Structure formats: structure tokens, C-alpha cells
Amino acid sequence: MNHLARRTFLAGLGAGLAAVSVGRGPRRLEAADPILAGRPLVRYPEKADLILLTSRPPQLETPMRYFAQAITPNDAFFVRYHVFPVPTSIDVDTWRLRVTGRVDRPLELSMDDLRTKFSKAGLTAVCQCSGNSRGRFSPRVLGGQWGDGAMGNAAWAGARLRDILAAAGVRQGALQVTFDGLDKPGYPSVPDFVKSLDLTRVLEDPDVLVAYEMNGQPLPVLNGFPARLVVPGWYATYWVKNLAEVSVIDHVFEEFWMKPGYRIPDTACGCVPPGTTPARTVPIHRMTVRSFIVTPADGARVTAGRPTPVTGIAFDAGAGIGTVELSDNGGATWRRADLGPDLGRYSFREWNVAWTPARPGLHRLMVRAVNRFGESQGLEPLWNPAGYLRNVVEEVEVQAS
Amino acid sequence: MSRGRVRRRPLGTSALPRAAVLVLVLALPLAAAGAERTITLPPDDPSARLPDGPGAPETRNACSLCHSTDYIVMQPRGGAVQWQAVVTKMIKVFGAPITDEDAKTIVEYLATRYGPAP
């Protein structure tokens, strides 16, 4: 975040986050955050008031306060579609999941089939947009200018994809599996949103699900009703919503949303020197380690000399969070946070520190997480041209008086 | 309001006769018990409307065919090189039906309205 801009804004700001009405226009987000300040707050069907990124196709961001708890409520979960129109009317009695391609027995599974013919599996996992926090890249990059709320964590339940593929019988020579949802571009030359995964990735991982439950409820339409793919540890681009067809293929699928879309530099960090173009790219895959301070909110006022709970969440691609640390002196020293309940290695992990601001004035709090593989977050942001993989050490500024 | 935009009736019952509302209310429990889930999306956010100026109608028509204009107004500012690349991508990758003449007009509009900050 741009500290100068934020400091200027802080001068005139009482609370960290609030919704305000400006005239007769839409409600807008009041925030210390230069990327999100002034964005419309909108209420879409089955959803709470969320931050509008785009209307068509719908893209909605979750306000940071919802991450005070490890589980993100269904109505607050972010929305990101790629093409328009999106499905707005779905009859679950006539909906079918087609399993096609290089299989012995092509399937047309009803919701009843999914629920009764396959054992129910579940796990809690973070779903995060590849471009989450893209608005914070410097130099800035084109694309959806998300703040940090294109992410959420839910308890998913459904059928294992590998059980479904076993029922269909994958043939020799199969290499990848493609996933297509009910969203179809209205303009014919726009590439349909279809994603692919390597067959080995799918067969080796029992946690890849066709999920029909989200936090114990049917999914909201805008989050993928009646079923979506869950690919724990990998970015949300693979979590195809309103899933309609799974197809086994004998080649590497390279249509637009796999290539050139959703690629990262083929380097160890997935990054290149700022402003440069990578020589080679690969499809984006595992999520980087991230952690956020949720309370106090950026720009909040606190009391000097009084213990203030500092809380937030951390997550990674599935090694699991090992430690979370907080610094109030620019990273010179770090204090270890207490971790909340372990909801599984793919989940948000809550953390907290009792922090006492020693003096009145502006304090900068920084958080970093280390996962069980020893992977962590850097003090300097990594850069790539598409604005993916962001995982710099995050911070908030609070005013003590 | 751009000519290219698909307009929808806003949510609410003011456009419906009272009898129709009553029928809808009575039918709701039955509909809820069925298997069909239906949502109605709001119209494009009016605050993302592109400001008037030379090239505004061409830009609204071409871009609104496939996406709302908040895609444009949220982007980092940039000169003609940035916007030419965007318009070229829309034509070559997404098949946007934009003539060469309109493409030039649109790039000029975007580079003027959303050009580098002074």
C-alpha cells in the first residue's frame, strides 16, 4: 500500500472502515486504503453488502472485516466471473454433470447421483483469486484492481473427483482433465471459460472435490451452485463454478484461459524484475504463503499503554501454517503470535497477539507467516506482469492516543 | 446510457400490477420448495459510466457489448501505448467487432480521459 497516500487519508479519518452514503448515489466504501476507498458497496442476490469490482460479469470483493473469523460466510464470499452472461436460473432436477472424453463409460450425473453414488468427502480450504491484491502492484499492472478481499475460506463437501473419474473409467493415453461451467459468453468470439488440470494431479489428490455444499449449505448461485470444483492449495481459477462438464483429454489443453491467460513466469519465484517480460511462462498453480492483520483495521485508533488484541489470519498452499509473527518496529524484531484452532492444512489459521502501544502516535504493525515447509513472506513484493502470487509482508497503521 | 448496453428492469415490484404482486407472493412458498434457483442481477453500476467527450459514444458502444465499463475506469492510467494494447487485445483475442477507424477513436478517447497522471 502507498504509505504517503494512506497517511494523508488518515489525517481526516476517524474509524478504519465504514460505509457512507454520498448524496443519492450508491453506498461507498470509506477506507484508508487507496485502492478500495470510494468503491461502491452493493448487495447482489444471496450476498451481503460487498465491494463492487465490476457489474458485468459480476465481480465482488469481500470487505476485510469478514476475515476476523476463519470461516467466511457464504453471503460474504467473493465473486469472480470471467464471461457474461452468467447462469442466473438453475434447475437442480434437470442439471447434470457430464463426464466425457477418453473414458470407458461417459456419465451424466444428477445431483442425486452425486450425493448417493459417491462417498461424501469434506475439507476446509481457502479459495483465493490469482489476482488477489493486484491493485497493490508497483509498477501497477492491468487487470481487475482487487484489494485483498478476493479470497475466502469455507468448509466444502461433495464427491471426490477421482471417484467420479474411476466410475467413468479413464482410458489409456489420458493426460489432462478439463472443466467447464454453465457460464457461456454471449458474444460468440469470446473464449469460453474452460480450465484444465493434469490427470496425475487429480488422481493423486483425494481432496479435489466436486463440492455441492459450502459451510453446510447449498452454494450461492454466484459461488457456483449447484456444484463447483474445489482444488485445495491452488488458486481459484481452477475452482470452476456452476460445473457442467468434466472431460478427459489426451493432450495439454491450451485454450485462452490456460494460455496465454493465467500464466506466471517460469522462474523459481514466479516473478521477474519489475516492468520486464518473462522469457517463458507456466500455468499458475500453488498459492503463496500469506498473512493479514484484520483487527485493528488499517487506520484504526487505539489507546497508548493499553493492551490491544491484534488478530488476523494466515494460510498457504497446504503445508499448513507453522508460525505467525508480528513486528511493531519495521521488522527489526518479531513476536510470535498464538495460533487459533487448526481447521486443516488448507484453511485460514486464526492468530492473535496482545500488543500494547508503548507511546502515542502512529504505529506500523507488520505480520508474516512461515509454513511447515519453511516457506514465508518477503519484506519486498515480488512482481510479475499479470499481478499474481502477491505475498509480501502486510501491514496496518494505527493511531495511538 | 449507452446504446450497446442490455438494460434490465430494476428489482422491485413497482412495475407490476397489484394483483400480479399478490399472485407472486402466494406462489413464493411453492417456488422455494422447487428445485429451481433463480437470481436477478442488478444493472451495470451507473457510476462507472464513461464521461462524455469526443469518442465517448464509440467507446461505450464497443466496450459495453461484452463488459461493464468499470473494467475501464478502475485500470491504472496510461498513455496511447497502453490503451492501444488493450484495444488490440479486445479485437484479436476476444474478437471485438471494432473497425480500424473506431479503434483509433477509442484509443484517443481512453488515452485522453485515462491518460498518465500529470
Whether the pLDDT of residue A175 is over 80: the answer is yes
User: Among A5-9, A174-178, B70-74, which stretch is predicted with the lowest mean pLDDT?
Assistant: A5-9
Instruction: Write out the residue range of the structural domain in which residue B80 sits.
Output: 46-113
A291-319 residue pLDDT tens: 999 999 999 999 999 999 999 999 999 99
**Domain check: are A296 and A173 in the same one?**
no
Is B7 within the bounds of a domain? no
A191 touches chain B (CB under 8 A): yes
Sheet holding A394-400, edge to edge: A301-302, A394-400, A361-371, A321-327, A335-336
Q: What is the CATH number of the domain that holds A382?
A: 2.60.40.650
Is B35 within the bounds of a domain? no
Mean pLDDT of A47-58: 98
In sequence order, which ranges of A75-172 are alpha helices (DSSP H)?
Answer: 111-116, 161-168
**Domain check: are A113 and A220 in the same one?**
yes
The share of chain A scoring above pLDDT 70, in percent, equals 94
Point out the residue among A55, A94, A142 whose CB comes nearest to the CB of B70.
A55
Whether the pLDDT of residue A56 is over 80: the answer is yes
Mean pLDDT of B18-26: 45
Partners of B74 on chain A (C-beta within 8 Å) are: 53-54, 144-145
Is A212 within the bounds of a domain? yes
Look at chain A and report how many structural domains it folds into: 3
Query: Among A261, A282, A316, which residue terminates a domain?
Result: A261
Look at chain B and report how many structural domains it folds into: 1
Whether the pLDDT of residue A335 is over 60: the answer is yes
Partners of A40 on chain B (C-beta within 8 Å) are: 45, 47
**Domain check: are A233 and A304 in the same one?**
no
Query: Among A241, A261, A281, which residue terminates a domain?
Result: A261
Tell me the nearest-neighbour CA distance from B19 into chain A, angstroms. 25
Is A172 within the bounds of a domain? yes
Whether the pLDDT of residue A60 is over 50: the answer is yes
Residue-averaged pLDDT of chain A: 94
The share of chain A scoring above pLDDT 90, in percent, equals 92
Q: A318: exposed, middle or buried (C-beta count within 10 Å: 0-12, 13-18, 19+)?
A: buried
**Domain check: are A202 and A346 in the same one?**
no
Band of pLDDT at residue A25, cut at 50, 70 and 90? low
What does pTM read for this prediction? 0.90
In sequence order, which ranges of A22-110 are alpha helices (DSSP H)?
Answer: none
Whether the pLDDT of residue B59 is over 60: the answer is yes
Q: Which residue matches cell numbers 444428477? A: A110
**Domain check: are A220 and A366 in the same one?**
no
A363-376 residue pLDDT tens: 999 999 999 999 99
**Domain check: are A299 and A369 in the same one?**
yes
CA distances from B60 to A29, B68, B85, B108, B109 (A): 26, 9, 18, 13, 11
Q: A223: exposed, middle or buried (C-beta count within 10 Å: 0-12, 13-18, 19+)?
A: buried
Cβ-proximal residues to A310 (8 Å cutoff; 6+ apart), any chain: A293, A295, A296, A326, A337, A352, A353, A354, A355, A365
A92, B67: Cβ pair inside 8 Å?
Answer: no
Q: What is the pLDDT of residue A281?
A: 98
Is A70 within the bounds of a domain? no
Instruction: Write out the residue range of the structural domain in which residue A203 sits.
Output: 97-261
A197-229 residue pLDDT tens: 999 999 999 999 999 999 999 999 999 999 999
Return d(Cα A362, Cα B64) in angstroms, integer: 44
Mean pLDDT of B103-111: 98
Is A202 within the bounds of a domain? yes
Q: What is the CATH number of the domain that holds B93?
A: 1.10.760.10
Return d(Cα B45, Cα B5) in angstroms, integer: 12
**Domain check: are A255 and A302 in the same one?**
no
Q: A126: exposed, middle or buried (C-beta count within 10 Å: 0-12, 13-18, 19+)?
A: buried
Is A314 within the bounds of a domain? yes
Tell me the nearest-neighbour CA distance from B29 into chain A, angstroms. 16
Is A109 within the bounds of a domain? yes
Q: What is the pLDDT of residue A4?
A: 38
Is B17 within the bounds of a domain? no
Mean pLDDT of A60-80: 98
**Domain check: are A319 and A374 in the same one?**
yes
Is B93 within the bounds of a domain? yes
Is B107 within the bounds of a domain? yes
Q: What is the pLDDT of residue B34?
A: 58
A192 touches chain B (CB under 8 A): no
Is A66 within the bounds of a domain? no
Return d(Cα A207, Cα A215) in angstroms, integer: 16
Cell of B96: 471485438
